[in-house]
Every structure is written in structure tokens, then in C-alpha cells.
Amino acid sequence: MVAKTMDQLVSLCKRRGFIFQNADIYGGMQGVYDYGPLGVELKNNLKQAWWRSMVYERDDIEGLDAAILTNRKVLKYSGHEDTFSDPMVDCKKCKGRFRADHIDGKCPNCGSTDLTEPRPFNLMFKTMTGPVESADNLAYLRPETAQAIFTQFKNVVDSTSRKLPFGIAQIGKSFRNEITPRNFIFRVREFEQAELEFFVMPGEDEKWHEIWKEARIKWWEEQGLKRENLNIYTTPKDDLAHYAKACYDIEYQFPHGMEELEGIANRRDYDLGNHTKGQEEFKLEAHVHENKESTTKLCIRDDDSNSWVVPYVIEPSMGVDRGVLALLTEAYKEEDLGEGNSRIVLKLKKHLAPIKVAVIPLKKNNEQIMAKCHEIKQNLLKLGIGRVALENTGNIGKAYRRHDEVGTPLCITVDFETIEQQPESVTIRDRDTMEQHRVNVADLPNYLRDYFAR
Ligand code: ATP
């Protein structure tokens, strides 16, 4: 059984330290969350899995980590200043503000029908650089990570001697002043994105769009999402943004419904075309914003045609927080153990589990047992498998329960037999089967190396 309600996930996340409401002690801040001790591990593991599959396993992608503070001109020419807005209506009675496409003529807060006409509301957070608050010093917190990939295109090409097709990948924070943040970490005001801009020759874009769609579905399956819980939504031609040629959304069956987890768009030459110098020299296909301020031509040499081209771009863009929510939804199980017993278990893939191995003393106030636990923990850390935690609650039943709930694949218990008998051995308990067996301490490194390589 997968998680049935968001409440079950929210409750587990708070109880076990995955995700907390930001500024909880002051009543919280809407649409902003903090990742706790285990949430940070889970999120890092997901980001690492993405980075590994994009940058390390392939030979045609480079990484980037650009600034969050964004020069106004970037978002002017990208089109965000003009168009990055949702039509909003205000309720004249309770002063609530809602997305026009989310209501049907009635205020969802107070029920009043006394509403304003829909008007655009810009979703970008503004800030100032330097000591003087003036229009010249206006900057934005980026609403997506992608723009810096476009503005750094030439620097990356020049420093890596890349030829088409190739991509630039980036993971980082983005900010949108969402009007109606909701559904836990699904729609928030501060979130993380993992975005790839994959640059291709015009004409090869449709082929690459299909390749990336398939690759991304496969990757999500490798992270543990079942294919039957995914849906591929193809945006109808009439609903596409003017610059997009085609767009797929990978949707996931979240507790609140089938919704977007990742978008995969064919954006043609719109983005590089917007930011390039000398727009008139290139036969740009997309309808771009006229740009007289760019100092650099964002093009690449095509050896076949012996000409300079502004590449097309295929953009798979995933929300990391939505990814975490999907993983939690998929992994959450309540199991009936018979005889009135049950357990909650997070069946996360082992590469994503926040804690890989918990080392548990059978008795916490026994010095010898504790010393052995410390020694085993430090040795296992050297394997580089991720977090190995010393669990010092000292109550074995509670420790197993806790580690089932946070998805720890293996628990190692150090008991009296470990310290009293030769060769030294420990009990290993498997999260999913709950089966236990004895392994010699000397064999632990190989055992775990094999287990986590599988
Ligand atoms: P939506 O239609 O749900 O607002 P979008 O189409 O505007 O999303 P994109 O601009 O395509 O989203 O951003 C790419 C990805 O970033 C989305 O697929 C989503 O996973 C994530 N994302 C976008 N906005 C948010 C948000 N407010 N909170 C969390 N994740 C977000």
C-alpha cells in the first residue's frame, strides 16, 4: 500500500526529522520548508544520483554552479520580466488573492463573489544590490536555474572545446512568489531544481527530445518510482508557450493527484537567441526579444556546414523537492505483521536511503559493546557508502522500528557474543525482509561493499 494521504507523509517527516515548516517556532512561513537531519541526506542523495547520471556517466555533459542573485538584464531579455506572471484575482471582501485559473467566480476563502478582474502578478522576488535602493540596483532571485546556463554558454564552450550535441547541467535553488503554495513541498516559494540544457543542431531537436524523454522516465524508475505511477503528458500544440516546439511533462501520482514532477521541453533557439549579440546575423526560428545590450554571440561552429549556428535546446527540468515528495510517497508502506502488530517502513532504494547502516549496541551502558560499536562504525565509514550512524538509544526494538521508518537498509547489532566469542561476529538485519543473520566482523567491509554495489 502506498501512502494514502499527505498527512501521513507530513507527520512522518516531522516525527523523524525529514522536513520541518520553516520558522516553525514563530508559526511558520507559508511555502517555505527546511530539511532536517534525514531530509538533507535524502535530498543530497537524490541530487547526487542525478548529477552522476548526467555529468559522470555520460561524456557529453558539463556541470555548472551559478549565482542565485541575477542581473536584471538577464531576466529582461529572457522574457521573464514581461511574462513570468500568473493572472490573479483579488477578493474585495477578505483581501485574499488567488490564481484566476484556480477558482470559479467565488472566493475560496470567504465565498464572496465580489472579485477584481484577473490581472498579472509577477512571480519573481526582487532585491537590491549595494547600499542604495534604486532602480539601477534592482536584482532578482532567479526563478529558474536555466538562465545562467544560457548566459554562460560561450564561456563553457570556450573552456571545454565542446561540439554539438552537448549539455550543461546545474542543480540549485530557485525562487517564485507562488500565490497559492500548497501540498507540502509540492508547490513552494523556495525550491531546488535540477536542470539540463542540451544543445543540438537545429533539425536534430525532435530526435533528442524523444531520447531525453525516454532517458528521464528510465532514470525515475531507477530511483524507485513505479512506471504505473508515472504519466507522460504531452502539451497540446495550442497550449504551448510561443517559444516551445513541444513539451512533455513527467507526472507522478502524488497523494493530492497526478501532477508535474519534471518538464522536458524543446525550446528551439529561443533562449540563446534572446541573449545573443547580433541576432540579425542568425536565422533565428523562435520569436525572440530584441537585444542590443548583449556583448557576446552565443553560437557554435558547425564544421559540416562551415558556419556559426545558434543551437536548439532540449530542457529536462526537474523539481528536487517534488522528487523528494515522490520518493517518500512511493516508499511509504504500512505493513501488517500479524497478531495485531504493524510497522511503517520506508522502502527507499539503498542509494537514496539517508542512513545506509545503523550500528546498534544491545546494551548502551556496556563500555566494551560501545567501544566495539564505535570501532565498527569508523571502519565502515571508510567504505564511502554514505552515512553510517551509531544508534545509541539502547533499546533494540525501538531502534529497529525507527530505522524501518527512515528507510535504513541494514542494521548491525553488537551484542555480548560479539565481544565474548572468537571470531567476532554481529547480527545484520534486513529492513525489507526483517531477516537476521550473523556475519563475522572481519567480513563486514566486503559484505557491505557487495550489498551496496548491487
Ligand atoms: P507548475 O506548472 O507546477 O507551476 P512549471 O511548469 O511552472 O510548474 P517549470 O517552470 O517547468 O515548472 O519548472 C520545472 C520544474 O521545477 C517543475 O517540473 C517542478 O518540478 C519544479 N517547480 C516549479 N515550480 C515549483 C514550485 N513552486 N515548487 C516546487 N517545485 C517547483
Is the distance from the beta carbon of residue 261 to the nearest atom of ligand 1 less than 6 Å? yes
Confidence band, pLDDT 50/70/90 cuts, at residue 170: very high
Look at residue 104 and tell me whether its pLDDT is greater than 70.
yes
Q: What is the pLDDT of residues 261-278, one digit of tens each?
A: 999 999 999 999 999 999
Q: How far is the CA of 282 from the centre of ligand 1 (A)?
A: 31
Across residues 191-211, what is the average pLDDT?
98
Ligand 1, atom 14, residue with closest C-alpha: 317
Look at residue 2 and tell me whether its pLDDT is greater than 70.
no
Is the distance from the beta carbon of residue 418 to the nearest atom of ligand 1 less than 6 Å? no
Q: How far is the CA of 153 from the centre of ligand 1 (A)?
A: 23
Confidence band, pLDDT 50/70/90 cuts, at residue 367: very high
Across residues 416-421, what is the average pLDDT?
93
Residue written as cell 511558520? 28
Ligand 1, atom 25, residue with closest C-alpha: 187
Burial of 319 (0-12, 13-18, 19+ CB in 10 A): buried
Give kind and range of the element (H or E) at residue 146.
Answer: helix 146-151
Q: How far is the CA of 303 from the centre of ligand 1 (A)?
A: 37
Across residues 340-349, what is the average pLDDT?
96
Is the distance from the beta carbon of residue 86 to the nearest atom of ligand 1 less than 6 Å? no
Is the distance from the beta carbon of residue 407 to the nearest atom of ligand 1 less than 6 Å? no
CB 100 within 8 A of CB 89: yes
The predicted structure's pLDDT at residue 103 = 83
Q: What is the pLDDT of residues 18-38, one digit of tens each?
A: 999 999 999 999 999 999 999
- Between CA 386 and CA 375 the distance in angstroms is 17
Is the distance from the beta carbon of residue 180 to the nearest atom of ligand 1 less than 6 Å? no
Look at residue 212 and tell me whether its pLDDT is greater than 80.
yes
Identify the CA nearest to 286 among candidates 20, 32, 77, 2.
77
Look at residue 161 and tell me whether its pLDDT is greater than 80.
yes
Identify the CA nearest to 412 among candidates 218, 31, 383, 42.
383
Q: How far is the CA of 181 from the centre of ligand 1 (A)?
A: 12
The predicted structure's pLDDT at residue 117 = 86
Other Cβ atoms closer than 10 A to 179: 19
- Between CA 346 and CA 18 the distance in angstroms is 12
Q: What is the pLDDT of residues 214-232, one digit of tens each?
A: 999 999 999 999 999 999 9
Look at residue 191 and tell me whether its pLDDT is greater than 90.
yes
Q: How far is the CA of 319 from the centre of ligand 1 (A)?
A: 6
Mean pLDDT over each residue of the chain, to the nearest integer: 95
